[in-house]
Amino acid sequence: MSKLYIATGTQPKKMTIDLLERINPIKGKNKEIKIGIKPNLVCASPAEEGATTHPEIIEGIIIYLTSNGFNNIKIIEGAWVGDSTKRAYKVCGYEEISKKYDIPLIDLKDDMFVTKSYKGMELNICKTVFGLDFLINVPLIKGHCQTKITCALKNLKGIIPDTEKRRFHTMGLHKPIAYLNAIIRQDLIIADGICPDPYFEEGGRPKKLNRIVAGFDPVLMDSYAAKILGYKTEDIKYIGLAESEGVGKTLESDTEIVNIYENASAADDITIVQKEKKYLNMIEQADACSACYSNLVNALERLDESGFTENIADQICIGQAYRGYKGILGVGDCTSCFEKYMPGCPPSVDDIIKFFTE
Ligand code: SF4
């Protein structure tokens, strides 16, 4: 349980197959089991941009499973609020994989949901997930402008409906992520660290980390991801909360990290240095959705590079908690009662830049 396996290199398909053959996660399982593969297709952006799971990794998993007689496989995902899963499947190369291996692509945005209660919190979760016997989570080791990182635990946010994604933000994000993981257990994690964006979940600044990491414990995986991305485990609140709920155990000095290629250089020697983002102090966020907040941060970073943020004197409000309230400067439809606001749900990065420059 408390082990991580790493393949380093630049050939995602081969690395994935090598990892799976090494850990043999389906040993002894009935070949009829229903298997769901959950990538991270947060938006319709090719994997090279650092936001989405490399399709070659998914292909590697499918080759491994089918060559071992496991054919009852589907790919499941629900992109973030404001983007289309179907567009993401197409742009990210998943439609080709689906055709080549006859594997269905399920858009969880079209799914019904089931309400589950955990410690008094009701969570709506897509129905498809409850029909699976084996869930393979294939997140990225990636930055996130609200929770700092996203990896195995937060990737499960793609299995809830859009309305619930918005509601997660009103509940503070961290606790519902931990509780969701207490309800839905993932059976295997293959984390894509080929060229993730260490700062933004929607990509655009890919960094070559040249690794894929496999394991069974999402808390351990996220703890490892935090370390690689330049944070301490305790900086990421939902990791500790998930550990408290018995979802897994964090990285410790005696955690075994196995590099499956003998001749590879040390696999755990990378740490990203996070940039200081002073412009974040200009934002007053209250229950903002990921896409909305991320687009604003992205726009501000670009405005900051050209020295424009110095011209913005007011605090910028964003988030669902501002609905119906008056204010001065806002971003998103939730701030429609403000004196000046950028419409959209969520508004795009380019539109936000245009709004501020105008
Ligand atoms: S406008 Fe409001 S509801 Fe829409 S994405 Fe932004 S924060 Fe979420």
What is the distance between the alpha carbons of residues 147 and 310, in angstroms, rounded to a whole number? 26
Ligand 1, atom 4, lies closest to the CA of 345
In which element (H, E) is residue 316 found? strand 316-318
Please give the structure tokens belonging to residue 346: 């969520």
Distance in Å, CA 35 to ligand 1 centroid: 33
> Residue 8 in contact with residue 267, Cβ under 8 Å?
yes
Mean pLDDT of the chain: 94
With a 6 Å cutoff on the Cβ, whether 345 touches ligand 1 is: yes
pLDDT for position 267: 56
CA of 167 relative to ligand 1 center, distance in Å: 11
Quote the ligand 1 centre to 206 CA distance (angstroms).
26
CA-to-CA distance for 41 and 270, rounded, in angstroms?
25
* C-beta of 332 in contact with ligand 1 (< 6 A): yes
Cβ of residue 331 lying under 6 Å from some atom of ligand 1: no
171: its two tokens: 């509940």
Q: Provide the H-helix boundaries in the chain.
A: 12-23, 55-67, 85-91, 94-101, 152-155, 162-170, 174-183, 218-228, 237-244, 290-305, 349-357
**Token pair recorded at residue 321:** 């908690």
pLDDT the model gives residue 192: 98
How far apart, in whole angstroms, are the C-alpha atoms of residue 139 and residue 153? 9
Question: HEC states along 21-79?
Answer: HHHCCCCCCCCCCCEEEEECCCCCCCHHHCCCCCHHHHHHHHHHHHHCCCCCEEEEECC
To test the pocket of ligand 1, the residue of 169, 295, 345, 352 to mutate (highest count of ligand atoms within 8 Å of its CB) is 345
Distance 312 CA to ligand 1 centre (A): 21
In this structure, which topology does domain 3-259 adopt according to CATH? Rossmann fold (3.40.50)
Q: What is the pLDDT of residue 308?
A: 83
The pLDDT of residue 29:
98
CA of 336 to the centre of ligand 1 (A): 11
Domain range list for the chain: 3-259, 278-357
C-beta of residue 329 within 8 angstroms of C-beta of residue 180:
no
CA dihedral 154, 156, 160, 165 (to 10 degrees): 10
Greatest Cα-to-Cα distance within the chain, rounded to the nearest angstrom:
63
Query: Of the residues 334, 335, 341, which should be mutated to test ligand 1's pocket, given the most ligand atoms within 8 Å of the CB?
Result: 334
What is the predicted pLDDT for the residue at 278? 83
- Flag whether pLDDT at 7 surpasses 90: yes
Q: Which residues contact 239 (CB under 8 A, 6 or more apart)?
A: 153, 219, 222, 223, 226, 233, 250
- The whole-angstrom separation of Cα 248 and Cα 238 is 12
Q: What is the pLDDT of residues 146-184, one digit of tens each?
A: 899 999 999 999 999 999 999 999 999 999 999 999 999
pLDDT in tens, 49-105: 999 999 999 999 999 999 999 999 999 999 998 899 999 999 999 999 999 999 999
**Would the pLDDT of 1 be above 60?**
no
